[in-house]
Copies of this chain bind each other. A is one copy, B any other.
Amino acid sequence: MNILVTNDDGIQSAGIRTLIEIAKEFGNVTVLAPDSPQSAKSHSITVEIPISYKLIEKTDNYKEYSCSGTPVDCVKLAIHELVPQKPDLILSGINHGQNTSLSVIYSGTMAAVVEGTMNKIQSIGFSVNNVSPDIDFSQTKPFIREIIRKVIDNKLPAGVCLNVNFPDIEKFKIKGVKVCRAVNGVWKEKFVSANNKYKNAFWLTGEFENFEPHAKDTDEYAVQNGYASVVPVKFDFTDYSYIDNLKTQGFEK
């Protein structure tokens, strides 16, 4: 099978190197990943300047390219320009930092996964609750292998991808895997003065506020308690249940 690997931390990060190693066990691999960190780039695409790519390595079963664009640019460029055959599987990550709850909407890692799904390709994103660039990913490997194997065997339905989050693997020996829903919460921002020469310049910082810390069926609960979480993700934004309410309220005319 043909596998595309990407991420948002950049092509040199330890996370993507681990994922590439595992992907090679499953088939032909093309890597197309950002040439610099692209965290929190969400589903953004580059439309105001051209994007470019660079071949890094090429063997019979392996091609590696870096790209000047965002993670979603990488997926689009791979599918529509660089990979002659549509990939059978897209793997994104392993992200250095967790993508539970609504972090999916900010995450470049998961945006690449959603873009793959939009293009009807089986897609999985992996993240770990630790932002260290030097983390040892060894204990995630058997879990990743098994999740990939199960997706290949069972096939995800159209429009559905997986968001996999590992706990802090420097703190926990991974206890197991839980299928979850995304917890409800929000990022509470704090803007900290940048103390540079510019007026009104701020760093965006913040912390996650969990609206339901005791709900055991959520990704956040699993990850905080030493389990890997698997959340089925869809990208349909329409709230079908509210269409009739709007009609009743007289929005149509």
Contacts and interface: CB of A to CB of B under 8 A. Distances in A.
B51 A236 contact: no
Contacts of A231: 237-238
A215 interface: no
Interface residues of A, number: 83
Contacts of A62: none
Interface in A199-244: 199-204, 230-240, 242-243
Interface string A25-45: 000000000000101111111
Contacts of A48: 37, 39
Contacts of A189: 76, 79-80
B237 A235 contact: yes
A179 B243 contact: yes
A242 B105 contact: no
A231 B238 CA distance: 7
A189 B51 CA distance: 13
Interface string A117-129: 0110000000000
Interface of A: 37, 39-48, 50-54, 70, 72-73, 76-77, 79-81, 102, 104-106, 111, 114, 118-119, 146-147, 150, 153-154, 157, 159-160, 163, 176-182, 186, 188-191, 194, 196, 198-204, 230-240, 242-243, 245-247, 249-253
